[in-house]
Amino acid sequence: MIWIWALLLLSSCQRHSQWQCHHINEKTAKATRVLYRSEDPVQGIDVEMIQADGELATYLQVHSQPLLPSEEDPEKTEVTITTAQSEMTFLAPFHRGAQRVRLSEELQTQLISILKEGNPITLELTGYRETIDPERFQKVFKRMGKKAPSVLNRIHLY
């Protein structure tokens, strides 16, 4: 009896991955979404990658306050990517509401490359910061190009 309680306790304390993959199959579009959801809803940054019609788009999203525009371009904000080896700063346009930015292809490629290498990465937007654990990214990202699982296999979230 005690071993059952111990097993239940251990399984309930298990940390789930922040990386998720969702297949979207509607009549009008077939798409796949890879999502990294921040544990900090106030100062964290979510990463969302959407693949549709062979195109990949990557977005960073915050939830509490609008992003501040850069001094160089009032319709863009600064995005900084920091790893143990380097730091890069880019400008990215934000969407209406100023809580979501779309990364350029160059920045998207850099981000995916770093995550595939398995190195921790820190993203910064003015007033926001997120250190991303790349564990499971590779596994979830590979699912992006695959067919959606059958109904029987959808019980397990990726």
Does residue 12 sit within a domain? no
Q: 97 falls in which pLDDT band (50, 70, 90)?
A: confident
Report the CATH number that the domain containing residue 119 is assigned in CATH: 2.60.40.2540
* Residues contacting 97, CB < 8 A, separation 6+: 66
> Average pLDDT of the chain?
81
SS3 77: strand
Q: 7 falls in which pLDDT band (50, 70, 90)?
A: very low
Placement of tokens 């380097």 in the chain: 86
Does residue 155 sit within a domain? no
Domains identified in the chain, total number: 1
SS3 16: coil
Does residue 101 sit within a domain? yes
Placement of tokens 């398995």 in the chain: 118
Residue of higher predicted confidence among 12 and 145: 145
Does residue 102 sit within a domain? yes
Does residue 10 sit within a domain? no
Q: Is the pLDDT of residue 14 over 50?
A: no
Model pLDDT for residues 112-141, shown as the tens digit of each residue: 999 999 989 999 998 899 999 898 898 889
What's the average model confidence in pLDDT over 13-35? 73
Closest by Cα among 122, 51, 37, 59 to 85: 122
Does residue 2 sit within a domain? no
Q: 101 falls in which pLDDT band (50, 70, 90)?
A: very high
Does residue 96 sit within a domain? yes
CA pair distance 25, 6, nearest whole angstrom: 40
Q: 96 falls in which pLDDT band (50, 70, 90)?
A: confident
What's the average model confidence in pLDDT over 64-79? 92
CA pair distance 88, 80, nearest whole angstrom: 6
What's the average model confidence in pLDDT over 46-70? 92
Q: What is the pLDDT of residue 27?
A: 57
Does residue 116 sit within a domain? yes
Structural domain for 70, as ranges: 17-148
| CA-only gyration radius of the chain, Å | 18
pTM (global) more than 0.75 = yes
Q: Is the pLDDT of residue 28 over 70?
A: no
What's the average model confidence in pLDDT over 14-33? 72
Cβ atoms of 53 and 75 within 8 Å: the answer is no
Q: Is the pLDDT of residue 15 over 80?
A: no
